[in-house]
Amino acid sequence: MAVIAALSLFAAVPAAAQAKKIITISGSTSVFPLETQLARKWIKTKKGKKFGFRILQGGSNVGISDVAKGRVSIGASSRDPAAGDPGGLVFTKIARDAICIITHPSNQLGNITAATIKNIFVGPTFTNWSQVPSAPISGTIDPIGRAPTSGTHDAFRNIFLGGTNQSSPPVAAKASNGLVQQGVQTDPQAIGYVSLAFSSGVNVVNYNGVACTLRNAASFQYGGVRSFYFVTRGAPVGGVKKFIGWVLASNKANNIIGTDWVPLH
Amino acid sequence: MRRLVGLQKAGPRNRSDQRAELLLGALACVVLVLIAGMIIFVFAKAWPSFTHNGFDWFSPWAGGSIDEELTRIFESPANPNDYVYTMHAWPLIYSTALITLGAVIIGTAFALLSAVFIVEFAPPAIQKVLEPVVRLLAAVPSVIYGLIGILVIVPFVGNHLISQGAKDSVAGVVGLSGASWGVGVLILTVMITPIMIAIVVDALRAVPIGWREGSVSLGVNRWRALWTVSVRAARPAIVAAAVLATARALGEAIMLSMVTGSVGFAPNPLDGIIFFVEPSRPLAATIVDNAEGLSVAPFEQTLYAFASVLLISAAFLSFGGWYIRRRLRRYTLSPI
């Protein structure tokens, strides 16, 4: 849902100080909580206090098209660069995020393989839990996914389905991570995919034998990891360059990323 | 409608009257221009989607999965010559019609009976409580109904009302998780009925008491007098209420996006009782669910095409309502 929540951040400095330069960001709703925290921290640093932020949401594709048209300084994207993207854009990877496969708490499925996921979400070949290896329950599978416009859908397709589109119907195309989580919580036969931050209250299934945790995602053992990007038109310059440089290099930024996401190093 | 033309001509024209007249006229014109501009804008945006698909856009026989078609449109290459537009919106149109008609038909019946009860049969004490409650209900935001639906009704239907056999019978075609057009109709009915009750209550109250007294004095009982005189005289108001409710139902997006299952699927009446719990996402909910894709030009045009179909439906609806009310007004004094 493209709820555009505007958020302005201003550093607490005396009004006598010179007018601050504003860095504008728009884009992915998944990256939004991360970039907000990063910006809050940066404007308290020595370099950052000359700048202010204006941060908008709207979705990865909104961010990419905004930055390409010069409407914002940084576009936030939770998906990889695509063939159809406008030319001249530079994608700077700032963090990683894990996508977890989830089921209802009563369905303590331990592990799922890439082949099984593909059989459930594409075709579908598997329509009953009895077809899924080592599934503790039987009955129809209710696959729940995301709408085609979401970055999570794009990442799920590229990482888990090998580039094939999910078959819908029967896969439900929900509008947000939260609706997928809620749908899986209330339907014992459901299976869905969400960002790691939305995996509470459900059974998180191991993917190819590896648990979906921050630690495993950071160590590259977990396969379902996607990247968050800051997108700029051409190489970043000025304040944007300083901000992105700080996000990539500083320990403070790394600590913020490490709370719910996977730092790059 | 009687106008004041004669009066105006008789007296000398008052300057402040003239100014007010001009101002109000200008405001009315601005509104008209805005509406016309909006319609032109939406249609100009939507045009490529209609021209590329022709009649298949609306055709029930075109086939294909609407969600997969939307995915392909969203993934169009950047070159405008290679834009993908192929799309057959029938499941969405069918779903919109099914949910809207279902809710309006059930809602009208409920509203009429409740209004009759409130006006004619309810003791004054109950009347005093019922009327404010009904008006309050009419003002509840739809997202609250959506939350109740998704947290309470959908899980209940999915886990207690749908048998495993029913789920198996459509496995692989569509998932029966409880989120369905039937639940959508149920909640939508609850949403639109209060406003209809309020309108019909006002209309029944406006029927001159003498008309009913007359029929009762001729020996007709209370129920029959009500049905043949009051309700008949209130028919234009009932139509007006139905039109207003239909407009709200047509445009309802958030609640339906939450409870109807997020699947572009045309429920099949031949499936028997399962038909009512099959998921089906209407046009307005599709726009809300996919608004993130507005940055892709052909996808934006497709969403505008959905919007223009809703606009046209709303226009026909108010025109139809106006025509029916004009025909019925011959038998009534009702102001609406």
pLDDT given for residue A16 in this prediction: 39
Alpha helices per DSSP H over chain B: 5-10, 15-53, 66-74, 90-116, 124-137, 142-148, 154-156, 164-169, 181-206, 209-217, 222-225, 231-233, 235-251, 254-259, 283-289, 297-328
pLDDT in tens, B71-114: 888 887 777 788 888 888 899 999 999 999 999 999 999 999 99
Among B162, B177, B180, the residue to mutate for chain A (most A Cβ within 10 A): B177
Q: Is the Cβ pair B294, A2 closer than 8 Å?
A: yes
pLDDT in tens, A130-146: 888 888 888 888 899 99
Question: Is residue A101 very low, low, confident or very high in pLDDT (cuts 50, 70, 90)?
Answer: very high
Question: What is the pLDDT averaged over residues B3-7?
Answer: 49
A113 close to A160: Cβ distance less than 8 angstroms: no
pLDDT given for residue B12 in this prediction: 58
pLDDT in tens, B47-66: 999 998 888 888 888 777 88
Facing residue for A172 by CB, picked from B65, B172, B262: B262
Measured over the CA atoms of residue B147, residue B153, residue B156 and residue B157, the dihedral's sign is: negative
pLDDT given for residue A232 in this prediction: 92
3-state secondary structure of B15: helix
* Predicted complex: ipTM over 0.85: no
Assess whether pLDDT exceeds 60 at residue B5.
no
Facing residue for B257 by CB, picked from A124, A175, A186: A175
**Percent of the residues in chain A that have a pLDDT greater than 70, as a whole number:** 93
Question: What is the pLDDT averaged over residues A217-235?
Answer: 88
- Which amino acid is residue A263, in one-letter code? P
Question: What is the pLDDT averaged over residues B286-307?
Answer: 87
Question: Is residue B13 very low, low, confident or very high in pLDDT (cuts 50, 70, 90)?
Answer: low
- Global confidence as pTM: 0.81
Per-position DSSP letters for B238-277, written without gaps between them = HHHHHHHHHHHHHH--HHHHHHS-S------GGGGGGGGG
**Percent of the residues in chain A that have a pLDDT greater than 90, as a whole number:** 17
pLDDT given for residue A5 in this prediction: 40
pLDDT in tens, A179-200: 899 999 988 999 999 988 888 8
Q: Is the Cβ pair B177, A150 closer than 8 Å?
A: no
pLDDT given for residue A181 in this prediction: 92
Q: Is the Cβ pair B167, A179 closer than 8 Å?
A: no
A43 close to A55: Cβ distance less than 8 angstroms: no
Per-position DSSP letters for A138-159, written without gaps between them = -SB-EEEEE-TTSHHHHHHHHH
Q: Is the Cβ pair A140, B167 closer than 8 Å?
A: yes
- CA A90, distance to chain mean position in Å, is 19
Question: What is the pLDDT averaged over residues B244-270?
Answer: 89
Contact status of B184 with chain A (Cβ, < 8 Å): no
3-state secondary structure of B76: coil
Q: Is the Cβ pair A83, B77 closer than 8 Å?
A: yes
Give the Cα separation of A262 and B32 in Å (integer): 54
B328 close to B239: Cβ distance less than 8 angstroms: yes
Q: Is the Cβ pair B74, A149 closer than 8 Å?
A: yes
Q: Is the Cβ pair A148, B78 closer than 8 Å?
A: no
pLDDT in tens, A26-84: 888 778 888 999 999 998 888 888 888 999 887 788 888 889 888 899 999 888 887 77
To the nearest whole Å, the CA of A7 is away from the closest chain B CA by: 19
Place of tokens 């950071």: A218
Question: What is the pLDDT averaged over residues B106-132?
Answer: 91
To the nearest whole Å, the CA of A257 is away from the closest chain B CA by: 25
Question: Is residue A2 very low, low, confident or very high in pLDDT (cuts 50, 70, 90)?
Answer: very low
Assess whether pLDDT exceeds 80 at residue B8.
no
3-state secondary structure of A24: strand
> Whole-number mean pLDDT of chain A?
84
pLDDT in tens, A15-32: 434 567 889 998 887 788
Q: In chain A, which residues have their Cβ closer than 8 Å to the Cβ of B74?
A: 148-149
Q: Is the Cβ pair A169, B291 closer than 8 Å?
A: no
Give the Cα separation of B73 and B201 in Å (integer): 48
Facing residue for B68 by CB, picked from A82, A165, A189: A165
**Percent of the residues in chain B that have a pLDDT greater than 70, as a whole number:** 94
- A-B Cβ pairs (cutoff 8 Å, strict): 140
Q: Give burial (CB, 10 Å; 0-12/13-18/19+) of B331.
A: exposed
